[in-house]
Structure 1
């Protein structure tokens, strides 16, 4: 029995020795090292290194829910509107020998109804349009897409003419807030001073870059070159200041006599942003003023977005119009002033106070005071609108990145000559004309940024 046991143990030991020798002859494969995502602190919070590269990336976005309420104008119009908007953006930056290489892309997707489809300066229930009274989906909208390489900016970006671009508040005021396709060069001089020259394509902002108007008609002659925008800016601890100007071709065509011109439109603007930490941390005041001749879109008039005459009309002013008596093309001039103040009552509670006043001269297509058989004659009377917009809100920030707030906006428009009362027109019955009108709009917003 002892002999059998010894033979078995010996055999097992031999097999183990042979197996160990064979295993030693096999090649060894070690697991690949794991490359963990590293935080990038060079460009602020939220950036991380793309594994295997020296590029820092930040991915963020926003979800916004809004509800607006205003005066109902007819049975065909809604007295409220709702909006849901989703936003996603990617910001990639790489340090190079020539400066930072930055690529930025931002997309918005929106579903809205009711008052949000009517337009007007406060995007509330101000302008009636039966064709857009239902629900509308904007689809995938490219808000920004640009490359910055050292001093060069190329792509779709904020216009270098803009300063206060509706930074505060839920609603818009009469100011320039544009995202054209552009090609710009920025020179920095130290101590926060910089200067920029930019070639900007106004067609990509949704506005009309031309002036060609006759009674009830218009024509487009095309552009011969993009707008040239220049700005001088300073950014320091106390705040910022900027002086900007724009000049561009504005082809005009008089459909009454066939005359055409290659007019040049221009706009100038100055603004200052003042930090007020002595009041509360984060308090900021914007003050801005501008003037334009045949380029009134640079003051927020003409085109899409916050254009139009509020609820008293359903059109936007052009850069020029044809005088019905002389047949001459007159350019439109405009000026505006803007103020915006943000105050923190406490770290989690703030208010914005916004306002703008603007006047436009030589704007036609209105109602002439004469009547035939008791009815007004429609023609090309000069309207020369004057507009006031003021608003205020209260926003609660219970946690970082979440805003819950309410806002009230008041807008008033006055005209040089009488214009048809849009409310009376849509209700039916005799035509009534007015020289001024106003509107209140309320809005609730819940927004999460991440």
Structure 2
């Protein structure tokens, strides 16, 4: 009996020990639910919610490489073939607020040309309730619309130049919702680094002038309005250069007939004897006039016109011509071919004539571009 009792006690102890170990066994934790990326279609295609937030993000960009033969901007170009490669990264955000969408737009650019690499913040701006603050294209260029769908559409410049059109600015855009829009902008007078501000120039008519942006504090100003109804649209915009104390006015008419579209744009310089930011031109060796110390701007006026034809869903043809009071004529034509979606092959031919100096130039570009 004693042995039987010991056996029963041992069995009970082992059972209790096993039960205790079972209670302390490691149990695998339940996996956290996966948080899938949510599509944010309120602001257009490509946006998605940043996980854990109510901010929508869109990522895009492009890679481009192109060969250029000669130069439409100046005659007697010394480089026969110029190869240029560019990459851009676009980041856009949007968040809904009680004042409308709070958005940001950022574009970063990398260029490689002739063994030289450069990096640039092309755009960086914030928009809310119709207001934009930060770096963007001058409203003198972007509000009425750029020239034709041409690679080198600004041989005769239609906006701030000659170096670039991207300016720090504070802009308000009004959209009535019935086709009427308006814009008012103050723009940084020095953020595009125009070198002609620091030099003296002599016109071919013998008049001389010189300006300087030292200690400049007043911004430039741009204002415009437009109306669009059906296939027709018209816009008028004016810009005032606070350094030169002159400006320019442009008017543009657009027509879209579906497979074919066309535009006509004219500009007037408040003083044709001066080169201001909004009636700009290029000052380069060998250009118009031949001497670098002379101006190559509109004169009193300039005009641009062009058209585009959608041949089929993969092929589009474009043409543009422009002429100035200073007797500069520029023409260009191209074909935009998309063998597959988001991949472009674009050949273009250009011709420029500087009649006042009997100079002319032919040029060509072959571009390959992948956007995403």
TM-score (ref. length: structure 2) = 0.82
Match of 1:98 in 2: 99
Farther-moved stretch of structure 1 (141-150 vs 188-197): 188-197
| 225, 228, 232: which one aligns with 2:221 | 228
Q: Distance in 2 between matches of 1:20 and 1:347?
A: 70
2:359 aligned residue (420, 434, 437): 437
Quick check: 1:225–1:248 contact (8 Å CA) kept in 2?
no
- Aligned with residue 174 of structure 2, among 177, 187, 197: 187
Q: Secondary structure at the match of 2:278?
A: helix
**1:156 paired residue among 135, 141, 159:** 135
Structure-2 residue corresponding to 1:371? none
2:116 aligned with 1:136: yes
Show the 5 A alignment for 1:9-408: 15-23=17-25, 29-70=29-70, 77-113=78-114, 135-137=115-117, 139-162=118-141, 163-166=144-147, 168-173=149-154, 174-177=156-159, 178-207=165-194, 208=196, 212-213=200-201, 218=210, 220=212, 222=214, 223-235=216-228, 237-238=230-231, 240-251=233-244, 264-277=245-258, 280=259, 283-292=260-269, 293=271, 294=274, 296-302=276-282, 310=287, 313=290, 315=292, 318=295, 333-359=299-325, 385-408=326-349
The answer on whether the counterparts of 2:241 and 2:247 sit within 8 Å (CA) in structure 1 is: yes
More moved, 165-174 vs 95-104: 165-174
For residue 107 of structure 1, report the CA deviation from its aligned partner: 1.4
Quote the RMSD (CA, aligned, Å): 3.3
**Partner secondary structure for residue 139 of structure 2:** coil
Aligned partners of 1:347, 1:31: CA distance in 2, in Å? Answer: 48
Between 229-238 and 58-67, the greater mean CA deviation after superposition: 229-238
Match of 2:351 among 395, 404, 410: 410
Structure 1 runs (4+) deviating above 6 angstroms are 6-12, 71-74
The alpha carbon displacement at 1:233 in A equals 2.4
CA distance in 2, matches of 1:350, 1:269: 27
Aligned-partner SS, 1:190: coil
Aligned residue pairs, count? 348
Q: TM-score, normalised by structure 1?
A: 0.69
Segment of structure 1 superposing worse, 386-395 or 235-244? 235-244
CA distance in 2, matches of 1:68, 1:319: 23
The 1:231/1:247 distance shift into structure 2, 3 A limit, reads same
Alignment correspondent of 1:365: none
**Which deviations, in whole Å up to 9, do the C-alpha atoms of 1:362-386 show, x marking residues without a partner?**
xxxxxxxxxxxxxxxxxxxxxxx31
Which is worse superposed, 87-96 or 156-165?
156-165
Unaligned regions of 5+ residues in structure 2, if any? Answer: 160-164
State the alpha-carbon separation in 2 of the partners of residues 358 and 242 from structure 1. Answer: 20
Structure 1 portions without partners, runs of 5+: 114-134, 252-263, 321-331, 360-384, 416-434
**Cα separation, partners in 2 of 1:188 and 1:247, compared to 1, 3 Å:** same
- Measured at CA, do residues 395 and 12 of structure 1 come closer, stay the same or move farther in structure 2, by a change above 3 Å? farther
Secondary structure of 2:300 counterpart: strand
> What secondary structure, in the 3-state scheme, does the structure 2 residue paired with 1:186 have?
strand
Query: RCO greater where, 1 or 2, for CA within 8 Å and sep 6 or more?
Result: 2
Per-residue CA shift, 1:422-450, capped at 9, x if unaligned?
xxxxxxxxxxxxx3121111111000111
Q: Deviations over 1:42-89 (max 9, x none)?
A: 111111111111111111111111101138988x93211110011111
Q: Which residue of 1 aligns with 2:368?
A: 446
Asked whether the 8 Å contact 1:92–1:102 carries over to 2, the reply is: yes
Query: Counterpart of 2:190 in 1: which secondary structure?
Result: helix
**Secondary structure at the counterpart of residue 170 of structure 1:** coil
